[in-house]
Structure 1
Amino acid sequence: MDLLAQDLQVTLEGNHILKGVTLEAGAGKLVGVIGPNGSGKSTLLKCLYRQLAPQGGAVYLNGRDLAEENRRESAKNIGVVAQHNDKGFDFTVLDMVLLGRSPHKKPLERDTQQDYAIAKEALREVGLEELAHRSMATLSGGERQRVILARALAQQTPVLILDEPTNHLDVQYQLQLMELVMGLGRTVVAALHDLNLAAMYCQKLCLLDGGRVVAQGTPEEVLTPARIGAVYGVGAEVVSASDGHIRVLFYPR
């Protein structure tokens, strides 16, 4: 499914957070949203998955205005891995992942064998099947993050919105998660703090600064030394790695 955010305007507590942001994610593409802290990344993503309603502009899914859909229908199409998933940790891991099946069920409908099979497969994909019956409260931050991703996978949506999905993860699991996400064949929009992860895995980048889009395009088009210096306030060198992707080397000014 194609996802389009068009001319989004968001003001919160008198602060103009998004100032006419437009972002397009084509079907099956992985789009990275990058930018320094406070640039508007999380606010943009909250508009995409309808936690926030923009004061201006709109979000379209395959040409349909999301604001005109009920939230259950939206939840069948858009899965979310948000930041600060610190609630409900008295659930078992499997119970948490089964919550991803909720949009597909009627009120009070019990989980079926198919729901359990889908949830267990999602846990297998993130490498946590052996922790299915552990309490969420006993997990590390990185394990919790992978469980929340499994919950989104169990939702079986064509679109995924990921807000700092590699937060709390060791390097090994950062790479595994990004490989998994890249191989899903779904439309993915991910806010990423690590520019090198973004360059390695995203087909397109959207660079935000001060609530505006500074640049959009391929990693090679967006991540130039001059632009990185202007937005992040650091010196940068962009080099080509042996895997065919670029890498950004940072140094203080």
Structure 2
Amino acid sequence: GGQRREEEEEVQQPAPKKTYFTGAGNRLGSEGESSSSPAPQPQTSVRSTPSPEALETVTRTLTFWRNGYSLEDGPLMSYTDPANREFLDAINRGQAPIRFLNVKPGQPVEMRVHTRREEDYKEPPKAPPKPFEGTGNRLGSIVSSSSSSSTPGSFPGSSSSAPPPPPRSFEVDGSQPVTSIQIRMADGTRMVGRFNHTHTVNDIRGFINASHAGESSRSYVLQTNFPKKDLEDVQQTIKDAGLLNSVVVQRYV
């Protein structure tokens, strides 16, 4: 009688949900860097899990060092920190911690584990800024239609503030101090430009206009990222404006 009751209880238990933390790799803490065995698929606490077919599989690299571990190109995480142990325990259970791996609920994750326990953590080299490879007008050139043609949707005869003077042609002087500025365009794209400290806000506008066709005919302002502040003085140097190694945001007006 007792055996039959246990069998009935087992039948009534719901089948466990499977997390979509998949992919080949080593179990954390094992030696070597590759394996053909798939990661385990335990229960997941996510209530609503999207279909894995609808989400692209992402790859995350976990490296074990003598003094800690690192995820992707991130900083060193100490083994003794309880918060870091939480991450390792979740990975060992075959779960993908969303807040650590930057993935969506139910998204397939392939963990690649590198074991370098004989070495101390080495900070990855910073990637050099990617040079601009787009097309456009040469900095300092004037677009013939920008001063006479009207922007679609504008009112004829309406007065507007005078546009900034055309940027002077310039080159980056390697013998002088150089800085990199990340420019966040209004359309969501980003690019990095190299400037001397003596270049001006107007030179940044010229870089934008040459990099993106049609920007010279649009009305926009440049502003600092934080705190938000319009860069109204276009003749101010990058150094005086506090823009060295900073982020500049373009906003259409």
Same fold (TM over 0.5): no
- The structure where helix makes up a greater share of residues is 1
- The structure where strand makes up a greater share of residues is 1
> Which structure is higher in RCO with an 8 Å CA cutoff and minimum separation 6?
1
Larger Rg: 2
The two structures have a TM-score, normalised by structure 1, of 0.23
